[in-house]
Amino acid sequence: MSRPAEPEAPDPAWCTLLGPLPPKAKPERKPIGSPEVLASAAGSPIARWQNLSLEIPSSPSGYRYLLIVLDETGRPIAASDHVVIHWPDPADPGAPRQMRQESIGGRLEPDGRFLGTCWLVTGPEPRGDEEPAWESTPRPPTGEEAAALKELVAEIVARAG
């Protein structure tokens, strides 16, 4: 008796890691922490840092989330791009949905280097209080991936104004 083929994740054009941004997508600018934390002695060194975030949703199947951290001078110091996709098992509608997350994230150094990691996380969505049974695989980013992330950062910073 053969096992049924595992379902493949959808491949939505709206949600491609390191892909182009929708023309009208505008990032949201926020402080890096709550006013209480930033006013504390521990938070004062980062009180003028900001986050630029951009979430690109699509129906209930998933989303893409980009985050950039700006230091007090407005220089991007960290960035990440995450794509999360969920889909049901068509052979068993009662089974937990499957999840696939691809991401790249890390530090943007003043000398132009990107120091980060790419992750692939897959597995079934947990139910209730279950512990996730996800498989996580890290790898170093390629030069092309680092360059693509830096291009996205420049575009998002420009769109934020």
Domain boundaries, the chain: 49-160
- Read off the pLDDT of each residue in 58-86 and give the average, rounded to a whole number: 89
| pLDDT for the residue numbered 49 | 93
Distance CA 47, CA 77 (A): 15
- Read off the pLDDT of each residue in 104-132 and give the average, rounded to a whole number: 92
Q: Say if CB 139 and CB 4 are below 8 A apart.
A: no
| pLDDT for the residue numbered 51 | 95
* pTM for the model: 0.81
Amino acid identity at 53 = S
Closest CA to 29 of 148, 157, 150: 157
- Read off the pLDDT of each residue in 12-39 and give the average, rounded to a whole number: 84
Distance CA 82, CA 119 (A): 9
- Read off the pLDDT of each residue in 41-50 and give the average, rounded to a whole number: 90
| pLDDT for the residue numbered 59 | 60
